[in-house]
Amino acid sequence: MYPLNRNRRLRSSQTIRDLVRETSLSNKDFIVPIFAVEGKNIKNEILSMPGYFQLSLDLIEKEVRQLWGMGLKAVLVFVKVEDKLKDNKGKEALNKDGLMQRAIKTIKNSVPEMLVFTDVALDPYSKFGHDGIVENFKILNDQTIDLLAQISVSHANAGSDFVAPSDMMDGRVLKIRQALENNGHKNTGIMSYSAKYASSLYGPFRNALDSAPEFGDKKTYQMDYANQKEALNEALKDLDEGADIIMIKPGLPYLDIVNFLSEKIICPIAVYQVSGEYSMLKIAAAKGFLNFDQVMIEQLYAFKRAGASMIVTYHAKNAIKLLNKSL
């Protein structure tokens, strides 16, 4: 009771604030997205994601060495597939010499200890830009998960440590887990996008990979942003099917989901601070409306405070530089 209790005593200096801080943030919390493209010495800035780049494999080799040197030890790999290779069957996704498979090998050859997560979905390979096989303008679930299982095995064969299915098809985690077990990859993990919402914040990412849907939207498989309990239902099913980590995507508008699931399930929880979140902050900071460093760190702490075990973020390199300054 005031005046005996004065809460401001514990805020009176940076030293005491550091000592009583409840949430920590470090290099161990981040997974770095990487966009791979064909070619050599290619570094294309993504127009809708200022300061972030598509990289050819020779530059990815250098990039992962730099990341490792900064203490960033996990990457999530995406690929921009050439239009001529896109179809409705994901044939290129199974190519053992495809861009994803070569990207995995490039990273592992460059930094063998780097933890490699790989995106498993059809939209980069689909001529329709959807996450599944299309028939009569509908997304086929069961045929798609059979294909996703094959893709996951292909990634594991190339050296992926964790496959990350982002498609939101029913039953895909079980199919993938069974396929990995049956093909000698019992130690390959699954980070499942369990609560992936049908958000309007994915636009810059889809520009980066040229993977926007050619018709309709993705609301028949991605979740309704009005729902919370559905996220728990999805996460529990994925865990039963063999997921090791569950993912919530997007991030900031879904902190309630991060917190809700962290209190209901016992497993690591990843959160994806998506491209739209990244671009809004970058552009607002460039206009002088916000202090980039201060808002970036505040947002990252918010994810951890809400209950996230790890954060997929395009801000990882900037965050490490800032955190190192504060040591």
The share of the chain scoring above pLDDT 90, in percent, equals 91
- Average pLDDT (206-232) is 86
**Looking at residue 266, which CATH number applies to its domain?**
3.20.20.70
pLDDT at 204: 86
Range of the domain at 311: 24-325
Rg, the chain, Cα only = 20
Domain assignment present for residue 192? The answer is: yes
pLDDT at 211: 67
pLDDT at 30: 98
pLDDT at 313 over 70: yes
Query: Per-residue pLDDT tens for 243-298?
Result: 999 999 999 999 999 999 999 999 999 999 999 999 999 999 999 999 999 999 99
Q: By the 8 A CB rule, do 218 and 169 touch? A: no
pLDDT at 208 over 70: no
Give which of 118, 109, 259 is closest to 193, Cα–Cα: 118
Specify the 3-state DSSP secondary structure of 36.
Answer: strand
Domain assignment present for residue 14? The answer is: no
CA–CA gap between residue 91 and residue 127 (Å, rounded) = 11
Domain assignment present for residue 9? The answer is: no
Rounded to 5°, the CA angle 102-108-112 comes to 175
Cis before residue 3, ω within 30 degrees of 0? yes
CA–CA gap between residue 13 and residue 31 (Å, rounded) = 32
Query: Per-residue pLDDT tens for 58-106?
Result: 999 999 999 999 999 999 999 999 999 999 999 999 999 999 999 999 9
The share of the chain scoring above pLDDT 70, in percent, equals 98
Domain assignment present for residue 94? The answer is: yes
Domain assignment present for residue 19? The answer is: no
- Average pLDDT (301-308) is 98
pTM (whole model) above 0.85: yes
pLDDT at 39: 97
- Average pLDDT (187-205) is 94
Query: Per-residue pLDDT tens for 151-174?
Result: 999 999 999 999 999 999 999 999
Cα distances (Å, whole numbers) of residue 144 to 30, 36, 243, 315: 30, 24, 18, 32
pLDDT at 205: 81
User: Which residues share a beta bridge with 55?
Assistant: 36, 43
pLDDT at 326: 76
* Unique residue bearing structure tokens 């604030």: 17
Domain assignment present for residue 2? The answer is: no
The overall average pLDDT reported for the chain is 95
Query: Per-residue pLDDT tens for 101-119?
Result: 999 999 999 999 999 999 9
* Unique residue bearing structure tokens 């395009």: 314
Cα distances (Å, whole numbers) of residue 211 to 88, 158, 215, 218: 13, 23, 12, 12
Give which of 76, 37, 312, 48 is closest to 203, Cα–Cα: 48
Give catalytic residues, as residue numbers. Answer: 196, 249
pLDDT at 327: 63
CA–CA gap between residue 100 and residue 241 (Å, rounded) = 25
Tally of structural domains, the chain: 1
pLDDT at 209: 67
Rounded to 5°, the CA angle 182-183-187 comes to 90
Q: What are 132's two structure tokens?
A: 């599944």
Domain assignment present for residue 18? The answer is: no
Cα distances (Å, whole numbers) of residue 243 to 22, 224, 227, 246, 309: 29, 22, 22, 7, 15
Torsional sign, CA 175, 178, 179, 185: positive
pLDDT at 215: 85
Domain assignment present for residue 15? The answer is: no
pLDDT at 212: 74
